[in-house]
């Protein structure tokens, strides 16, 4: 990224970013020399700071205040200066405490994970469950609700459960449904939902003749059941932590941020980016693509069982976020959830 910085400049930039992360106040030359025992006078630091400002790493809110990092400043800090700390053992053990997840459904686990993320990081935790279409089909069940109305329940290999209501033209008896269920559950497991859909389409159109009535009904029913995308599930926890941040004290910004965190769709878009990646990803400020969320950074990581169901989790907070603390939290949590997913299957 452009001009390389010499050691002294790096140290000072690091000090400024870290001080600002802690205090949320513009940091001045004197403050730096005091807190970090560089053997430099404030005047020297001032000169360096002026350089850093010229290079675009810092900015002064006004003449007589200290300086704060720009987005570029944070980026440089995260890429080159940041020392990722180990996850404190207290958190580690709190996360590894399996009893927390015992007897819980997958949804409840996701929700709990969200709360853990937000509780430990003291920012807002996000968990996006694996997109159902990419999960591996395990089992389907039909429940007859009333004349012509059926409840369909899918279970994925990773233990995720989804259900919807359909109204096929025909009113199946419980007996018929059992046969259909049986047929489908012997034929479909092992494929992803998307694959299942394709397979059904093929069989219905090209192999019509070879099927008996029951088989045809079964396929038609599951075709209908799988139609329409199943909405992504996002779990958000600790939104109020956002309001605790000094950068969001103004009522306006509070409303703005809360509205964004309320819109599941925006969060899905946000998390979708990290879906494909591997490992922890960091989006600083406007880097977070569809930047509805000004002034925020996102630290996200995908998780997945070995059967391939891929979800994303992360922490969202102000740009002035404690990166060195949050990154290991997200990292560890993602691998934790991956382990849980594996265990289920």
CA distance 222 to 148: 15
* Shortest distance, position 29 Cβ to a copy of itself, whole Å: 31
Q: Does 259 bind a copy of itself (CB under 8 A)?
A: yes
Q: Name residues contacting a copy of itself, limited to 35-64 (CB under 8 A).
A: none
Closest CA to 320 of 73, 42, 30: 73
Q: Does 2 bind a copy of itself (CB under 8 A)?
A: no
Nearest to DNA of 38, 172 (CB atom): 38
Contacts of 98 (CB under 8 A, 6+ apart): none
* Shortest distance, position 249 Cβ to DNA, whole Å: 11
SS3 149: strand
Count of positions on this chain that bind a copy of itself (CB under 8 A): 42
* Shortest distance, position 153 Cβ to a copy of itself, whole Å: 6
The residue from 43, 65, 170, 255 that contacts a copy of itself (CB under 8 A) is: 255
Question: What track of x and - describes contact with a copy of itself for positions 160 through 179 (by CB under 8 A)?
Answer: -xxxxxx-------------
Nearest to a copy of itself of 42, 189 (CB atom): 189
Closest CA to 19 of 87, 100, 62, 73: 73
User: Which DSSP helix (H) or strand (E) runs through 49?
Assistant: helix 42-54
Q: Does 265 bind a copy of itself (CB under 8 A)?
A: no
Determine whether 122 is exposed, middle or buried from the number of CB atoms within 10 Å of its CB (0-12, 13-18, 19+). Answer: middle
Residue identified by tokens 């509070």 is: 254
Binding site for DNA (CB under 7 A): 8, 26-31, 39-44, 46-47, 49-50, 53, 60-67
Closest CA to 129 of 224, 236, 11, 23: 236
- Reading phi first (left if > 0) and then psi (alpha if -120 to 50, else beta), residue 103 is in left
Q: Out of DNA, a copy of itself, none, which partner does residue 164 contact, by CB within 5 to 8 A per kind? A: a copy of itself
Neighbouring CB atoms inside 10 A of 329's CB total 25
| Tokens, residue 261 | 């965190």
Q: Does 231 bind a copy of itself (CB under 8 A)?
A: yes
Nearest to a copy of itself of 53, 107 (CB atom): 107
In sequence order, the β-bridge partners of residue 281 are 300
* Shortest distance, position 166 Cβ to a copy of itself, whole Å: 6
Q: Does 133 bind a copy of itself (CB under 8 A)?
A: no
User: Which residues form the interface with a copy of itself (CB under 8 A)?
Assistant: 102-106, 108, 138-139, 141, 143, 145-146, 149, 151, 153, 155, 159, 161-166, 228, 231, 237-240, 243-244, 249-251, 254-255, 258-259, 262, 343-345
């Amino acid at each position: 990224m452009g001009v390389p910085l010499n050691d002294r400049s790096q140290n000072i930039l690091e000090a400024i970013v870290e001080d600002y992360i802690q205090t949320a106040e513009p940091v001045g030359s004197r403050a730096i020399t005091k807190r970090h025992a560089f053997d430099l006078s404030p005047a020297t630091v001032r000169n360096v700071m002026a350089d850093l400002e010229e290079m675009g790493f810092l900015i002064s809110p006004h003449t007589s205040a200290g300086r704060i990092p720009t987005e570029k400043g944070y980026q440089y800090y995260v890429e080159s200066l940041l020392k990722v700390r180990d996850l404190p053992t207290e958190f580690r053990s709190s996360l590894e405490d399996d009893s927390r997840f015992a007897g819980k459904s997958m949804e409840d686990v996701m929700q709990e994970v969200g709360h853990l993320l937000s509780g430990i990081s003291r920012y807002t935790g996000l968990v996006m469950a694996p997109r159902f279409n990419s999960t591996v089909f395990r089992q389907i069940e039909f429940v007859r609700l009333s004349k012509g109305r059926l409840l369909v329940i899918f279970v994925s290999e990773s233990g995720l459960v989804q259900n919807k209501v359909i109204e096929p033209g025909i009113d199946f008896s419980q007996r018929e449904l059992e046969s259909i269920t049986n047929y489908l559950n012997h034929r479909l497991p092992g494929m992803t939902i998307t694959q299942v859909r394709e397979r059904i389409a093929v069989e219905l159109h090209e192999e019509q003749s070879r099927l008996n009535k029951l088989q045809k009904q079964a396929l038609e029913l599951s075709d209908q059941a799988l139609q329409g995308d199943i909405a992504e599930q996002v779990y958000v926890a600790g939104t109020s932590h956002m309001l605790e941040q000094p950068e969001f004290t103004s009522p306006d910004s509070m409303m703005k941020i809360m509205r964004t965190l309320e819109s599941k769709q925006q969060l899905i878009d946000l998390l979708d980016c990290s879906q494909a990646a591997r490992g922890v990803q960091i989006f600083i400020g406007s880097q977070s693509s569809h930047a509805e969320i000004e002034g925020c950074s996102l630290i996200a990581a995908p998780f997945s069982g070995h059967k391939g169901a891929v979800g994303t989790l992360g922490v969202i907070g102000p740009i002035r976020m404690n990166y060195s603390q949050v990154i290991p939290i997200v990292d560890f949590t993602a691998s934790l959830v991956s382990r849980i997913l594996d265990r289920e299957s």
